[in-house]
Chains A and B, each alone.
Chain A
Amino acid sequence: MDYVIFFACAAAVLVGAFGVVLARNPVHSALWLLLTLVSVAVLFLQLEAALVAAIQIVVYASAIVVLFLFVITLLGVDQHESLAETRPFQRPAAIVLGALLFVSILVLVHGNRWDTGAHSTRGALDPARTGNVTALAKSLFTDFIWAFEITAVLLVIAVVGGVVLARRSGQRTGAPAGEPQS
């Protein structure tokens, strides 16, 4: 059963990823991205990371994909991407380098054993009790408390930066026709 779930989700992940890269229309890319994200969330569930799977659905599959779709519709980017390549060697070079990267990661993964049964340093997974939430929260608010606080600062900066970027350009150039002034 584990194998069935894994291979079904892996196939969905890869199909979605190829869809993102190969789809002509950005809206289709966003929808393929949604397929990939949801399948990765199922894999997280299989790996006993229930809270991470929930966050993946809430933050990635809803908020980020909706943000992408909003921006796509806002910009009206439905024109086709020009496929004429200005640097003719770039595409084959990218594919060859990607294949090399994949092979080298595979060699690393299959040639070595990293999961040597080392002790858990920050606490065990403990999936029996409320699906890891307790263990994760304990680690997050003790060992990683400073990282957590800095994360709050990062989010504030990102929000302020987003607002500033979106507003200032609107004031300087004036919004294009058909768009409400803020």
Chain B
Amino acid sequence: MIAWVTPTYYLTLAAALFVIGAVGLLVRKNTLVMFMCIELMLNAANLTFVSYARALNDISGQVIVFFTLVVAAAEVAVGLAIIVAIFRRRQDVTADDIDILKG
């Protein structure tokens, strides 16, 4: 095989993607953007799984990605429903202002 991009490249890219997502999650205050940062981190994990599936020639890495995608979809559905519920009550979705559990 000619000049195949080694798994290290993919892992480094996934690390960068994960860190950008993590820092974004800590820095941003809009809950929707925080959700998107969580998606970035999940994608970094998926990229790691798939690159190891390729490196180890093992299909289970790709199967795990399938499950991760399902969990991500469920998380987004419930999370966005919570955000909509909070917005209906408080007209604001800034994370700093959502500091009481009482509705």
Which residues of A does B touch, CB under 8 Å?
A: 2-3, 6, 10, 13-14, 17-18, 20-21, 23, 26, 29-30, 33, 36-37, 40, 43-44, 46-49, 51-52, 55-56, 59-60, 63-64, 67-68, 71-72, 74-75, 77, 81-82, 86, 90-91, 94-95, 97-99, 101-102, 105-106, 109-110, 114-115, 117-118, 120-126, 132, 135-136, 139-140, 143-144, 147, 151, 154-155, 157-159, 161-163, 165-166, 168-170, 173, 175-176
- Per-position contact with A for B22-60: 1 when CB-CB < 8 Å, else 0? 111011111011011101100100110011111111111
Count of A-B contacts judged by CB separation below 8 Å: 255
A147 and B56 alpha carbons, distance in the complex (Å): 22
Which residues of B does A touch, CB under 8 Å?
A: 2-5, 7-13, 15-24, 26-30, 32-33, 35-37, 39-40, 43, 46-47, 50-60, 62-63, 65-67, 69-78, 80-85, 87-89, 91, 93-94, 96, 103
Partner of A81, one of B5, B15, B30, B70: B30
Provide the residues of chain B in CB contact with A155, threshold 8 Å: 70, 73-74
Provide the residues of chain B in CB contact with A20, threshold 8 Å: 20, 24, 33, 36-37, 40
Contact of A139 with B60 at beta-carbon distance under 8 Å, contacts A14-B16, A21-B20, A75-B87 already known: yes
Besides the contacts A2-B5, A6-B10, what 16 more A-B pairs have beta carbons closer than 8 Å? A36-B17, A47-B53, A52-B62, A56-B46, A64-B39, A75-B84, A81-B94, A99-B19, A110-B8, A110-B12, A120-B56, A125-B58, A125-B59, A157-B74, A158-B75, A161-B81
